[in-house]
Structure 1
Amino acid sequence: MQTEAVQTSRSFRHFAPAMRLYYGEDSLESLRPELERSGVTRVVVFCGRSLSQHPQGLPPIARHLGALHAGSFTEVASHSPLPAIIAGRDMLRETRADAVLALGGGSAIVTARGATILLGEDRPIEALVTRFAPGQPPRSPRLQAPKLPQFVVPTTPTTAIAKAGTAVLEPASGRRLTMLDPRTRAQAIFVDPRLALATPVAVVRDAALNALAMAVQGLESHMRQPLAEASLLEAVRLLRDNLPRLGTSADSAEVRGALLLAAVLTGQGTDQTSCGLTAALGHCIGARHHTANGTVNAVLLPHVIRFNAPATGERLAAVAALLGGDEAGQTGTADSAARACAGFFARLGVPSRLSDIGIEAAAFESILADVEDDWFFHQNPRRVESLQQVRDILQAAL
Structure 2
Amino acid sequence: MASHDFRAVGFALRLHAGANALDQLPAEVERQKARRAFVICGQTVARKTGLLGRIEAGLGPLYAGAFDAMDKDSSWPAVERALASARAAKADLLIAVGGGSVVVGTRMVAILLAETGDPYSLMTQYPQGKPAYSPRLMAPKPPIINVVTTPNTAMNRAGSALKNDNLDHRMEFYDPKTRPVALIWDADALLSAPPALIRSTATTNFSTALRALGAADMSPLAQADRRHAFALLHDGLPRIMD
Measured against the shorter chain, the TM-score band is over 0.9
CA distance in 2 between partners of 1:109 and 1:227 (Å): 26
1:187 aligns with 2:194: no
Shift of 1:38: 1.1
Aligned to 1:45: 39
User: Alignment partner of 1:123: what SS?
Assistant: coil
Match for 2:81: what amino acid? A
Deviations 1:229-269 (A, max 9, x none): 11111111111111111152xxxxxxxxxxxxxxxxxxxxx
CA distance in 1 between partners of 2:192 and 2:186 (Å): 11
Instruction: Identify the structure with the greater helix proportion.
Output: 1
Aligned to 2:240: 246
Cα gap change, 1:49/1:199 in structure 2, threshold over 3 Å: closer, same or farther?
A: same
1:150 aligns with 2:144: yes
Decide which of 92, 95, 106 is 1:98's aligned counterpart.
Answer: 92
User: Alignment partner of 2:223: what SS?
Assistant: helix
Unaligned segments of structure 2, at least 5 residues: none
Shift of 1:54: 2.5
Aligned to 1:282: none
Aligned to 1:219: 213
Deviations 1:153-176 (A, max 9, x none): 000001111111111011223521
Deviations 1:121-143 (A, max 9, x none): 12221111112346654311100
Aligned to 2:105: 111
CA distance in 1 between partners of 2:241 and 2:56 (Å): 28
Decide which of 6, 27, 32 is 1:33's aligned counterpart.
Answer: 27
Unaligned segments of structure 1, at least 5 residues: 249-398
Aligned to 1:202: 196
Cα gap change, 1:233/1:185 in structure 2, threshold over 3 Å: closer, same or farther?
A: same
TM-score (norm 2): 0.94
CA distance in 2 between partners of 1:47 and 1:233 (Å): 32
**Residues 24 and 192, structure 1, Cα contact 8 Å, conserved in 2:** yes
Deviations 1:330-376 (A, max 9, x none): xxxxxxxxxxxxxxxxxxxxxxxxxxxxxxxxxxxxxxxxxxxxxxx
Match for 2:104: what amino acid? V
Aligned to 1:85: 79
User: Alignment partner of 1:21: what SS?
Assistant: strand
Decide which of 46, 58, 61 is 1:64's aligned counterpart.
Answer: 58
* Mapping of residues 315-330 of structure 1, within 5 Å: none
1:6 aligns with 2:7: no
CA distance in 2 between partners of 1:40 and 1:19 (Å): 17
User: Alignment partner of 1:63: what SS?
Assistant: helix
Cα gap change, 1:133/1:218 in structure 2, threshold over 3 Å: closer, same or farther?
A: farther
Cα gap change, 1:223/1:177 in structure 2, threshold over 3 Å: closer, same or farther?
A: farther
**Residues 53 and 59, structure 1, Cα contact 8 Å, conserved in 2:** no
CA distance in 1 between partners of 2:14 and 2:87 (Å): 27
CA distance in 2 between partners of 1:235 and 1:69 (Å): 35
Instruction: Identify the structure with the greater strand proportion.
Output: 2
**Residues 93 and 143, structure 2, Cα contact 8 Å, conserved in 1:** yes
User: Alignment partner of 2:213: what SS?
Assistant: helix
**Residues 21 and 187, structure 2, Cα contact 8 Å, conserved in 1:** no
Shift of 1:195: 1.3
**Residues 15 and 182, structure 2, Cα contact 8 Å, conserved in 1:** yes
Cα gap change, 1:132/1:173 in structure 2, threshold over 3 Å: closer, same or farther?
A: closer
Cα gap change, 1:61/1:174 in structure 2, threshold over 3 Å: closer, same or farther?
A: farther
User: Alignment partner of 1:161: what SS?
Assistant: coil
Larger radius of gyration: 1
Match for 1:6: what amino acid? A
CA distance in 1 between partners of 2:110 and 2:78 (Å): 12
Shift of 1:214: 2.3
TM-score (norm 1): 0.58
**Residues 40 and 68, structure 1, Cα contact 8 Å, conserved in 2:** yes
Shift of 1:224: 2.1
Equivalent residue pairs, number = 242
Name which structure has the greater RCO, CA cutoff 8 Å, separation 6+: 2
Aligned to 1:228: 222
